[in-house]
Amino acid sequence: MRLSRRRVLKSLAATGAAAASPGVFMPALAQTGPLKIGILAPRTGIAASAGISGLAATEWAVEKFNAGGGIAGRKIQLVVEEETSPKDTIERFQKLVQQEKVECVMGIVSTGVGLALGPVVEEARALTIYWDGTTQDGVDEKLLNPKYLFRSTDNECEAVMSSLLAIKHWKGQFKRIAGINPDYSYGRNNMAAFIALLKRFDIEHEVVTEQWPKVGTMELTSHVAALKAANPDLIFSSLLFADLPVFMKQAHAADLTKGTKLVFPAAGWQHTLMKKDFTPEGMIFGHNTLYFDNPQATPMQKEFVAWYAEKQKDYPNWEADRAYFAIASYKEAVEKASKAKSGQWPGVDDVIGAMHGLSVESLGGKGGWRKDNIADQTFVQGFSTHNNKYDFVTLDPAKIETMYSADLQKPPGAKFWDWLKTAQFKI
Amino acid sequence: MRGATAMIVAAGVVALGLVPVLAPPFYANLLIPFFGYAIALLGFNLLFGYTGLLSFGHAMFLGLGAYGAAVMAGENGIKSFEVVLLGVALAGALVALPIGLLCVRFIGIFFGMLTLAFGMLTHAILFKFYHLTGGDSGMRVPRMNILGLEFQAYNKIELLAGPFYYYCLGLLVLCGLVMWRIVHSPFGLHLRALSNNAQKAEYLGVRVYQFRLAAFVISAIYGAIGGAILGFRIGLADPEIVHWTHSGHLVFMTVLGGFSSFLGPIAGALALTLLQDQLQSITPYWRFILGAVLAAVVIFLPRGLAGIAGTGAALAKRRAAA
């Protein structure tokens, strides 16, 4: 056949048109063989402690589930990709869905990445369960009524709980309040929620300083000096990355921790780095959805913590619970949907339907999924103590508080800031 | 365009055109950012490779493109991507003009530091002005029409891997041809002359300041177009797009590909996109490897990947002559 320029151009146009046709790129839904689950988790950088804890819990769960036959008879195979910037994480997500053809994606710790990825998840129609990483700002605009995306509890749950504990235990003992929170929507919302609740409960207060260090920065000297100069009665801080222990060391060196009430709703992310040498007793310390040393822990949590300590030479933070909850609830939903289809492998819509209203026992306690694809989970906080066998602070066993997120997060459809003004809190 | 270069370009365009057909669909999606970067780097290299001005804040123009798309399409409901491209190109020029008026008075490290300062100033504005820019959460870049077509039958991934892929390929070819004309015009020759010896060029009548400013503005336009493509692809404009590390990413791509060649930065963008994809799947410590690659390129391949091709072609020519 003679190849003319016109013929070559026609062929190219035809292949281009074929490639541009809708449906050509739809991933095939494999229903036999191993069940591929994609994980997007940070393993390096400022959120590495969370990613490592979450990944370890997922691996532990997969080990256990596979030993029991997998999910609805299919052995689980994890495909792990790195969570980094929004742009790169979206690429990793697309690789998991398009290239690896995973049937569910789990992970995500960063708020910014979570917001960016949400619309992509919906466009890809790929069932995705976030471990963490959502907040109030931008959610209505970017993640409104998602179908395929299941999100963690709203991040302000822990701030609401800490605020309620501070009001319950320290009402009348503080007036001058200061804040040091990471300079992004999570930190700003936490501080705003604390102040909103002080107003709600008519707590007389004066904000003497608000410090907003850049996320993850280790240079906190000027912030510590500003806090010291403001002479607050109480400091509220949602620092949670590697900057938290650095801040605590510097605050301790500046005598800021003596006689000042401390409210740290998210300190549990760095709990093993919060050494007794510089972390005081009696601070409100949030462990979010998993407190590794909980005397009321279930046998499953105890087994996991022992396994984690043996394997990682460390103790897990709450991301382990979020990750376990994600995969355990997915397993439960798939098996429920499969049963409803007489043992046939369910489609993604069947699994989504089965997720709604589901309740599972997670590592840190009970958890479930609401109809608006938001998780409900169990939160643990308390007062720090040095009276333990570790070199870091834990919670005073006599003062551990547990709350379910139904009492800490807004109901479906409500606006967070409006809800804070009218909600009936149990304190 | 010379014969050999034209052949390379034609082969490259055909190869890229076949990616959605022959490669797994993920790779068509992966290459969208490559197109965005390649267009931005065409402009960046006009400034760096041809004019001798190394900007460490060039990501601010990519940010301008992405945020411009968010404002035009997201806030003002403009659905045509072509209108958005024109808008961000104009905005890029308008923003680059006053910045360039100040920056191009300086060369070397001073120019680099000034552009870095403007880049980080832009980052701070985007990060701190929550109510205007969404702060760290950024602004949503909605899906837009291309060539007046909505492609409603396609979901976003299909749109990106199909029609939008070919659209970006066409845009890269168009921007490449325009840039080729620019660098091979008397204007381009003036830029090369002032890059080699500004004093001598000025003595010969080259209006050094004006020409540097023009190169700066043109590079900003290319950056804004590239940024709009990145924004469309991600669906979000966030402050990290203008961070200095992202500017460093542009420098890395240019050095990797070779800034002394017209096609070098495009090759660098392609190589880094594919390399990063592979490394990210292998190890979480992929940045270390990228750092080592950059060090190796600077030490052993100062002319980048394009230099290897150039050396190979020269050797072949010499052998043929012998």
User: What's residue A23's pLDDT?
Assistant: 45
Interface residue A138 vs chain B (CB under 8 A): yes
End-to-end CA distance of chain A: 84
Q: Of the candidates B123, B7, B16, which has an alpha carbon nearest to the alpha carbon of residue B59?
A: B123
- Does residue A237 sit in the same domain as residue A161? yes
The three-state DSSP-derived secondary structure of chain B is CCHHHHHHHHHHHHHHHHHHHHCCHHHHHHHHHHHHHHHHHHHHHHHHHHCCCCCCCCHHHHHHHHHHHHHHHHHCCCCEHHHHHHHHHHHHHHHHHHHHHHHCCCCHHHHHHHHHHHHHHHHHHHHHCHHHHCHHHCEECCCCEECCECCCCCCHHHHHHCHHHHHHHHHHHHHHHHHHHHHCCHHHHHHHHHHHCHHHHHHCCCCHHHHHHHHHHHHHHHHHHHHHHHHHHHCEECHHHHCHHHHHHHHHHHHHHCCCCCCHHHHHHHHHHHHHHHHHHHCCCHHHHHHHHHHHHHHHCCCHHHHHHHHHHHHHHHHHHC
- Does residue A219 sit in the same domain as residue A70? no
End-to-end CA distance of chain B: 27
- Does residue A65 sit in the same domain as residue A91? yes
The answer as to whether A213 is a domain residue is yes
* Whether A123 and B285 lie within 8 Å, measured CB to CB: no
pLDDT band at A8 (very low <50, low <70, confident <90, very high): very low
pLDDT tens per residue across span B157-184: 889 989 999 999 999 999 999 999 999 9
What is this model's ipTM? 0.76
User: What's residue A169's pLDDT?
Assistant: 96
The answer as to whether A204 is a domain residue is yes
User: What's residue B284's pLDDT?
Assistant: 81
Mean pLDDT, residues A292-317? 95
Confidence check: pLDDT of B73 > 60: yes
The answer as to whether A85 is a domain residue is yes
Cβ neighbours of A15 in B, within 8 Å = 17-18, 21
* Whether A82 and B155 lie within 8 Å, measured CB to CB: no
Mean pLDDT score of chain B? 91
Of A409-423, B133-147, B262-276, B303-317, minimum mean pLDDT range = B303-317
- Does residue A244 sit in the same domain as residue A326? no
Confidence check: pLDDT of A303 > 60: yes
User: What's residue B32's pLDDT?
Assistant: 94
Chain centre distance of CA B60: 12
Confidence check: pLDDT of A14 > 60: no
pLDDT band at A281 (very low <50, low <70, confident <90, very high): very high
Q: Of the candidates B32, B145, B29, which has an alpha carbon nearest to the alpha carbon of residue B85?
A: B145
* Whether A86 and B138 lie within 8 Å, measured CB to CB: yes
User: What's residue A1's pLDDT?
Assistant: 45
Cβ neighbours of A184 in B, within 8 Å = 135-136
CATH at A220: 3.40.50.2300
Question: Which of B159, B234, B238, B290 would best serve as a mutation to test chain A binding (most A beta carbons within 10 A)?
Answer: B234
Q: Please state the length of chain A.
A: 427
The answer as to whether A346 is a domain residue is yes
pLDDT band at A153 (very low <50, low <70, confident <90, very high): confident
- Does residue A278 sit in the same domain as residue A328? no
Q: Of the candidates A268, A383, A368, which has an alpha carbon nearest to the alpha carbon of residue A319?
A: A268
The answer as to whether A6 is a domain residue is no
**Residue of chain A whose Cα is closest to the Cα of B167:** A20
Nearest CB to B284: which of A22, A82, A137?
A82
Q: How many CB atoms neighbour CB B125 within 10 A?
A: 14
Phi/psi class of residue B59: alpha, beta or left (left: φ > 0; alpha: ψ in -120 to 50)?
A: alpha
- Does residue A306 sit in the same domain as residue A350? yes
User: What's residue B152's pLDDT?
Assistant: 86
pLDDT tens per residue across span B32-41: 999 999 999 9
Range of the domain at A83: 35-153+298-363
The answer as to whether A371 is a domain residue is no
Mean pLDDT, residues A36-56? 92
- Does residue A241 sit in the same domain as residue A125? no
% of residues, chain B, pLDDT over 90? 64
Interface residue A92 vs chain B (CB under 8 A): yes
Confidence check: pLDDT of B153 > 70: yes
**How many domains is chain A partitioned into structurally?**
2
Mean pLDDT, residues B267-294? 89
Confidence check: pLDDT of A29 > 90: no
Confidence check: pLDDT of B227 > 50: yes
> Residue B164 is encoded by which pair of tokens?
């939008």
Question: Which residue did the predictor score with more confidence, B313 or A2?
Answer: B313
Interface residue A19 vs chain B (CB under 8 A): yes
User: What's residue A26's pLDDT?
Assistant: 42
Confidence check: pLDDT of A6 > 70: no
* Whether B280 and A20 lie within 8 Å, measured CB to CB: no
* Whether A184 and B17 lie within 8 Å, measured CB to CB: no
Q: How distant is the Cα of A364 from the closest Cα of chain B, in angstroms?
A: 28
- Does residue A255 sit in the same domain as residue A161? yes
Confidence check: pLDDT of A24 > 60: no
- Does residue A409 sit in the same domain as residue A325? no
Mean pLDDT, residues A166-182? 96
- Does residue A267 sit in the same domain as residue A386? yes
User: What's residue A140's pLDDT?
Assistant: 65
Interface residue B226 vs chain A (CB under 8 A): no
* Whether B230 and A87 lie within 8 Å, measured CB to CB: yes
* Whether B138 and A116 lie within 8 Å, measured CB to CB: yes
The answer as to whether A8 is a domain residue is no
Interface residue A95 vs chain B (CB under 8 A): yes
Q: Of the candidates A290, A42, A262, A277, which has an alpha carbon nearest to the alpha carbon of residue A173?
A: A262
Interface residue B157 vs chain A (CB under 8 A): yes
Confidence check: pLDDT of A25 > 70: no
- Does residue A259 sit in the same domain as residue A192? yes
Mean pLDDT, residues A135-142? 65
pLDDT band at A240 (very low <50, low <70, confident <90, very high): very high
User: What's residue A139's pLDDT?
Assistant: 65
- Does residue A237 sit in the same domain as residue A140? no
* Whether A112 and B14 lie within 8 Å, measured CB to CB: no
